[in-house]
């Protein structure tokens, strides 16, 4: 029976791989394996083991539904419901942007700044989305006070579920609203050590040219940065100055070719540029500013 099972699975995988490849997905084989492994709750490697149970007809139908969704270019992460960030698994839904590896540079930049945390610092994460930055920082800085804001109630639900998923319930104060606005009533003006944000930064004219996974499925609210993509930085700068203590830092993720204009805008209104960090593709990705 076992070799028959393997052959059956391999046939399914071959058909699925072809469907994904025809839909323009570069690594169709790996993704088909990932989806079938997800369904069988096993690793991709285990798909080649002789003692694997075969798919029953319901599972076969579910598998072909998942392949159809992926062939329609729905991101694999929305189908699986998760994405890894900084070694932790985060729940993702269409209410949230899917965490990107380059966003881990923000965590790296913060760690370079503060090293292992001794003091109880106050951090604010704007546009928290899945909460990947706030939750990761909660695990790294056990004594920090952490606040996170988002305009989207759906995203905040996901962020809260990621907080409990990683045992951080009670560590993060989630606030619904625009950027730093929800902090006004908490009286933190002049007291925040660190503000970080991965705001929407895609220029509006480029939204229709994004790859289908992004353009058709990820929330516009998390992508649209206005006519030149820089709207959010413009709005964050004056409010962040108000909330940071002198010497406090603002960590921003920026899009391709945005570091120079963001830096110029910041300097013009009195920020000191601390540093600009490149991502693994060599793109200037993180701008760190200091409130004088
Ligand atoms: N990094 C995302 C992308 O290029 C955009 C994220 C954002 O706008 N903050 O698809």
pLDDT tens for each residue of 80-107: 999 999 999 999 999 999 999 999 999 9
In this prediction the pTM is 0.94
Mutating to test ligand 1, I would choose from 92, 98, 100, 280 the residue with most ligand atoms within 8 A of its C-beta, which is 100
What is residue 113's predicted lDDT score, i.e. its pLDDT?
87
- The β-bridge partners of 197 are 126, 252
Q: 50 falls in which pLDDT band (50, 70, 90)?
A: confident
- Nearest-atom index, ligand 1, CA of 103: 1
- The two three-digit tokens of residue 255, written as one number: 């899009």
Torsion (CA) 98, 102, 105, 107 in degrees, nearest 10 = 10
- For residue 281, give the DSSP letter: T
Mutating to test ligand 1, I would choose from 96, 125, 201 the residue with most ligand atoms within 8 A of its C-beta, which is 201
What is residue 8's predicted lDDT score, i.e. its pLDDT?
80
Torsion (CA) 178, 184, 186, 190 in degrees, nearest 10 = 110
- SS3 (DSSP) at 136: helix
What is residue 7's predicted lDDT score, i.e. its pLDDT?
62
What average pLDDT does the structure give for the chain?
Answer: 94
Residue range 146-160, pLDDT digits in tens: 999 999 999 999 999
Q: 1 falls in which pLDDT band (50, 70, 90)?
A: very low
Residue range 108-144, pLDDT digits in tens: 999 998 876 667 899 999 999 999 999 999 999 999 9
- The two three-digit tokens of residue 161, written as one number: 């579920």
Among candidates 195, 140, 198, 146, which has minimal Cα distance to 166?
140
Q: 3 falls in which pLDDT band (50, 70, 90)?
A: low
- For residue 178, give the DSSP letter: S
More confident site: 176 or 48: 176
- Nearest-atom index, ligand 1, CA of 210: 10
- Nearest-atom index, ligand 1, CA of 127: 9
More confident site: 286 or 184: 286
Helix intervals (H) in the chain: 2-22, 28-40, 57-71, 76-80, 104-114, 132-140, 153-165, 212-217, 231-243, 259-268
Mutating to test ligand 1, I would choose from 206, 217, 223 the residue with most ligand atoms within 8 A of its C-beta, which is 223
160 backbone dihedrals φ, ψ, rounded to 5° = -65, -40
- Cβ atoms within 10 Å, residue 93: 16
Residue range 197-255, pLDDT digits in tens: 999 999 999 999 999 999 999 999 999 999 999 999 999 999 999 999 999 999 999 99
- The β-bridge partners of 175 are 149
- The protein residue with its alpha carbon nearest to ligand 1, atom 8, reads 200
Residues 6+ apart with CB under 8 A from 281: 102
More confident site: 114 or 61: 61
The size of the chain, in residues, is 292
Q: 4 falls in which pLDDT band (50, 70, 90)?
A: low
Distance 271 CA to ligand 1 centre (A): 24
Among candidates 214, 197, 198, 217, which has minimal Cα distance to 206?
214
User: Using a 6 Å CB cutoff, which residues line ligand 1?
Assistant: 97, 100, 198-202, 214, 223
């Amino acid at each position: 029976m076992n070799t028959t099972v393997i052959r059956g699975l391999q046939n399914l995988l071959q058909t699925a791989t072809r469907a994904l490849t025809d839909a323009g997905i570069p690594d169709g084989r790996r993704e088909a394996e990932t989806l079938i492994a997800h369904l069988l709750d096993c690793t991709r490697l285990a798909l080649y083991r002789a003692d694997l149970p075969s798919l029953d007809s319901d599972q076969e139908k579910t598998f072909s539904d998942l392949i159809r969704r992926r062939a329609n270019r729905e991101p694999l992460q929305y189908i699986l419901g998760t994405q890894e960030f900084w070694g932790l698994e985060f729940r993702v839904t269409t209410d949230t942007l899917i965490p990107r590896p380059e966003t881990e540079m923000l965590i790296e930049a913060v760690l370079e700044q503060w090293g292992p945390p001794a003091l109880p610092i106050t951090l604010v994460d704007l546009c928290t989305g899945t909460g990947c930055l706030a939750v990761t920082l909660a695990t790294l800085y056990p004594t920090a006070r952490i606040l996170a804001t988002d305009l989207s109630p759906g995203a905040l639900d996901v962020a809260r579920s990621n907080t409990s998923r990683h045992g951080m319930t009670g560590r993060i104060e989630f606030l619904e609203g625009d950027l730093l606005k929800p902090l006004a009533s908490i009286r933190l003006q002049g007291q925040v050590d660190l503000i970080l944000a991965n705001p929407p930064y895609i220029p509006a004219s480029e939204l229709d040219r994004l790859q289908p996974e992004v353009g058709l499925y990820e929330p516009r609210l998390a992508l649209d940065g206005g006519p030149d993509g820089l709207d959010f930085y413009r709005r964050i700068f004056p409010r962040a100055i108000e909330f940071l203590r002198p010497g406090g830092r603002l960590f921003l993720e920026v899009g391709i070719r945005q570091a120079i204009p963001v830096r110029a805008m910041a300097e013009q209104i009195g920020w000191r540029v601390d540093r600009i960090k490149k991502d693994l593709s060599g793109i200037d990705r993180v701008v760190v500013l200091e409130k004088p």
